A and B are shown apart, each in its own frame.
Chain A
Amino acid sequence: MPANQVAREAVGDYKAGWHDPENSTVRFDFGLSEQVVREISAIKGEPQWMTDIRVKAFHHFMERPMPTWGSTELLNSIKFDEICYFLRSGEGTENDWDDVPEDVRNTFDKLGIPEAEQKWLSGVTAQYESEAVYHSIREDLEKQGVIFLDMDSGLREHEDIVKKYFCSIIPYQDNKFSALNTAVWSGGSFIYVPKGVHVEMPVQAYFRINAKNMGQFERTLIIADEGSSIHYVEGCTAPTYSTDSLHSAVVELIALPGSYIRYTTIQNWSNNVYNLVTKRGIAHENSTVEWVDGNIGSKLTMKYPAVILKGEGSHAEVISVAYAGEGMHQDAGAKVHHLASNTTSKILSKSIAKNGGRGSYRGMVSVSKKAENCKVNVVCDALILDEQSQSDTYPTMEIKNPSCRCEHEASVSKVSDDQLFYLMSRGHSEDEALALIVNGFFEPFVRELPMEYAVELNQLMALEMEGSIG
């Protein structure tokens, strides 16, 4: 069976595009006001300080102008009044799939989450609309003191830790969408890994939007204590609707001395979802923060995972791929700030544009004056598959210390007829040949993924390449 047929059977045409009837237990009216913000906080029974910060963030959001870069046209077409800011689908967060409402459980079954959980994950959180409907962690990890909760439970059960770190890396004033998220956040993950504990198998969160015109605003906070390590994986999908939904998350990572955090995202939103996410980690002495970021779907993504290298000898890696097909704009990239000496960073960005899609790399690397002997390596490659598609690169470097060793490479390439002919002469159809080239292009990224995701991503890309050559 040809590879793309396998892929089609496995994935379907945007396999995650179905939707279920909406059975909400709590649903807010469309639109945003201080009242909505206060009600979200009240319904969750939050402490006063959280309500206060939400309200402050709301006002900041209202006053803050829209960014004037990225895709301003698309940004300005977001209708904030036509979005539902809170929707509860169950009675709470269950730790047994059997207790999750049947239609919701079926959705996660179809997405393969319970199966993956059994086979190779340390823990799972499944969020449906605004809140987590399922959550579990392996017992042995719990015994070692690992905390893995949805963010709402995290706030209830570990208020002191949340209060210490919430908004510490990404203040609500950071940008318009971090303000929005802080005002209306709901769900997301809260993770604390104690000193010296290594979580060997990844933990996963899965985010699903089901309702029309939904806004999903999860908030994630991960703290790796000294000498610990964790790999967190998130996936996201949504139904295909003719109206738009908004996903605007904030993720804060805190890597304490000697720890290691890897955060992997496979974003496959349907192409009616605005994906405007702020992700930032802080790396203390000799710690490592890695973002592995795959953007395959959405209408507009603006996302630049960042690392602040605060401690000496810390290391940052941002490896990302973006696929921009018809009606899609992927404005993605990375930011790294070297504040301490002997810090190193590596950025690898790969983007593919096809059928009029637009892929942009936007990067920022800074090295502060007092940071000696830093190493910076930036590589960004773009592959354009036809004349209608576009690729742009906006790299910025601010190197204030002359001892820094800095490498930057960028390339834009097109698939050539001779390359396709060579592969076709080895028995591969046109679609298969293109999928081989595209998968090859993404290989440095796919290599970083757990095997299960690598297979899925390759199949997804093979499917996207079908019928691409006219």
Chain B
Amino acid sequence: MDENNNVEEQNNGEYKEQKNIGIAVFLLLVALTIGEFFIGSIAADWNWPLWGIAIFKAVLIIYYFMHVTRLFGNSEEESS
């Protein structure tokens, strides 16, 4: 009984943690997009900072939202 409660608590903890990660990544993406917009507005020739931001945003989405690590056997939730 206690073991079941512990598993449930652990699952709830992971659930909250994953939701918080989603919020943090989303806010970071929003901040980076605002930065991108202002860089583009003031200096259209600054291509490299804009590329840097775009690559960083892509990495955040691929790592946190697309869960690329599941490809390497880190599938945490599925069972047969």
Q: Tell whether A pairs with B.
A: no
